[in-house]
Amino acid sequence: MTAPALTVLSVGMVSGVGLTAPAACAAIRCAIDNFQETRFIDSGGEWIMGCSVPLEQAWRGRSKLLKMLVLAVRECGSQVRQLDFRRVPLLLCLAEPERPGRLADLDNSLLTDLQTEIGLSFHPHSQVIAEGRVSGIEALRQARHLIEKENVSQVMIAGVDGFLVAATLKAYEEQEKLLTSQNSDGFLPGEAAGAILVGYPLSKKAEPQLSCVGLGMGIEPAFEGSELPLRADGLVEAIRGALGEAGCDLGVIDFRITDAAGGQYNFKEAALALTRLLRKRKEKFDIWHPADCIGEVGAAIVPILIIVAWFACRKGYADGPKILGHVGNDQGKRGAWVLSYQ
């Protein structure tokens, strides 16, 4: 069964390789990264490498999350003429409460502080979704509901997150998930913010549009660290759901884009899902992982992946018009979406 499409109307992005969406996506296209020594040291006495956002002041912690979020939201809103924020719900994607080293009181105050900082109020249906990397999938589902049932024409989805926190790095190093001098099978930490405005097209002109035409969710019992044999059941369920809503099969997808940020687990999971779902031979089926350039950025990843795909299609360097995206969090939740450029 096909589902109503959500069209991407405008975007905004802040990352370690660019403070605007065009700059960041150009760097990612060229495989430019900004990994440098951080102020944190691993258990082997070596500096931990990471990708930080170079703002004009040395903000840290909650203040930096807010500044990055403000930049992304302002950029996204500035691309739409006479956008009335009071009529636009903001769905704010944040780290899950179980995240080690998660900053305190984000759920209760970050959305309020954002509105104070930009001097504008969002629609009363605005809310926080704190599910880490899969927050963006739930936000897309909520956006579709608001547009269909609540007389809302546009919804902004924003995500902000950062892993350059001492307690976070310590916990992931102990779990052997962080790339350090003692562990080569792990991710590099980063920080970023991304925002997308979705809804109906702004005009009836025959202009190219990138739309989300399918969403799917699943639960993976064999998440990393569970010691269960990995079969990619959760990811397969999520991809099947997204393809079902899009009314297509995996064979028509041109390329994939994912949250894989280093370490073999995510790539193994993606490969297993592919072997279980692909029923036709494809000469080329690339998988894009922008975290190679910006690091692990948690709850900001879904908006950022959609932004990367949006620029790839608009600039003509995408592998084709149909894109499969998929993400997963540490608790075993998996999400997938299908994008179509027309």
Report residue 38 CA to chain centroid gap: 23
- Tell me whether residue 204 is in a domain: no
Number of domains in the chain: 2
Mean pLDDT (whole number) for 159-166? 97
pLDDT of residue 93: 98
Asked whether residue 161 falls in the same domain as residue 278, the answer is no
Asked whether residue 272 falls in the same domain as residue 194, the answer is no
Range of 68-72, 108-112, 206-210 with top mean pLDDT: 68-72
Q: How many other C-beta atoms lie within 10 A of the C-beta of residue 96?
A: 19
What is the full DSSP assignment across 194-214? EEEEEES-SSSS----EEEEE
Q: Which amino acid is at 341?
A: Y
Q: Distance of CA 133 to CAs 15, 241, 261, 280, 323, Å?
A: 16, 18, 11, 30, 18
| Beta-carbon contacts of residue 97 (< 8 Å; ≥ 6 apart) | 107, 130
Mean pLDDT (whole number) for 324-342? 96
Statement: residue 81 has pLDDT above 80: yes
Mean pLDDT (whole number) for 109-135? 96
Tell me the pairing of strands 255-258 and 127-130.
unpaired
% residues pLDDT > 70 (the chain): 97
- Tell me whether residue 242 is in a domain: yes
Statement: residue 268 has pLDDT above 70: yes
Statement: residue 204 has pLDDT above 80: no
Asked whether residue 25 falls in the same domain as residue 62, the answer is yes
pLDDT of residue 226: 83
Statement: residue 104 has pLDDT above 90: no
Asked whether residue 133 falls in the same domain as residue 237, the answer is no
Least Cα distance to 85 among 112, 117, 124, 113 occurs for: 124
pLDDT of residue 207: 76
Q: How many other C-beta atoms lie within 10 A of the C-beta of residue 138?
A: 20
Confidence bin at 132 (pLDDT 50/70/90): very high
Say if residues 103 and 165 touch (Cβ distance below 8 Å).
Answer: yes
Statement: residue 203 has pLDDT above 90: no
The residue whose two tokens read 């998440």 is 223
Report residue 199 CA to chain centroid gap: 18
Asked whether residue 134 falls in the same domain as residue 66, the answer is yes
Structural domain including 68 reads: 6-199
Asked whether residue 221 falls in the same domain as residue 193, the answer is no
Asked whether residue 234 falls in the same domain as residue 129, the answer is no
What interhelical angle do 21-29 and 301-315 show, nearest 10? Answer: 80
Asked whether residue 157 falls in the same domain as residue 236, the answer is no
Least Cα distance to 194 among 68, 292, 323 occurs for: 68
H-state helical runs in the chain: 21-29, 61-78, 106-118, 135-149, 166-174, 233-246, 264-277, 291-294, 301-315
**Where residue 20 sits, what CATH number does that domain have?**
3.40.47.10
Confidence bin at 1 (pLDDT 50/70/90): very low
Asked whether residue 231 falls in the same domain as residue 188, the answer is no
Confidence bin at 108 (pLDDT 50/70/90): confident
The model's pLDDT over 208-242, given as tens digits with 9 standing for 90+, comes to 899 999 999 999 999 888 889 999 999 999 999 99
Least Cα distance to 232 among 268, 260, 202 occurs for: 268
Statement: residue 206 has pLDDT above 80: no
pLDDT of residue 167: 96
Least Cα distance to 238 among 264, 280, 276, 292 occurs for: 276
Statement: residue 85 has pLDDT above 60: yes
The residue whose two tokens read 């370490």 is 263
Q: How many other C-beta atoms lie within 10 A of the C-beta of residue 175?
A: 14
Task: Categorise residue 105: left if φ over 0, alpha if ψ from -120 to 50, beta otherwise.
Answer: left
